[in-house]
Amino acid sequence: MKPNFLTLTLLTFATALLLAPFALSPFYLPIIRDNNFQFYQLLHGEIYKQVTGYLSLLFVVLEMVLTARKRGRGWKIQIKLPGSIRFWRSLHIFLGLGLLVTTLVHTIGAQGLNFNAIFLWVFFGVIVSALVGAVAETGILESPQKFFGFVPNNLESKSQSRFWLPKGVLIRKLRLIWLNTHIFLVNAFIVMLAIHIFIAYYYQ
């Protein structure tokens, strides 16, 4: 099981819809506050934040287990789970989208201030970098083209042009960009998550 290009495109649109409330929250949160203050207080209450926060944390832990499952050989970590690497990569994508849903529920779309705002944008970077990379790779793999690029006017064939890359070479070059960016952002996210949890309990 591996999401095809159409599925990933639909997931991209779903991600855009889930990100929209974060842009619109400065408009709808004051409306909720003014029209139903008790509900607004509930959304900002300690119980609501803890339940939705732990739910989000569960998704993060699951993602970390899947990452260890995918990269366990390189890290010399033995985590044996049934199913193929392709299956777990697909599950990794869908769990990432689920994490975005739980984050939206946890934050109610509020962008936060100072550290929390930066933390949220790092998380957005994690989601977007993974999705963009997956869509690009899948689009290239499913394309009937064997070479990608352009041929200058003074050259007659693709093989003569250094501007044309075979499918496999292009994927490897793109992966150097998006995957390293994604891994960097994930590491930053994990560090900031630990700080976020510490701050939440310190000021409880």
Into how many domains does the chain fold?
1
Domain, as residue range, for 118: 5-202
pLDDT tens, residue by residue, 18-72: 999 999 999 999 999 999 999 999 999 989 999 999 999 999 998 888 777 665 5
Half-sphere CA count of 156, side-chain side, radius 13 A: 0
Predicted structure pTM score: 0.84
Closest CA to 2 of 135, 155, 171: 135
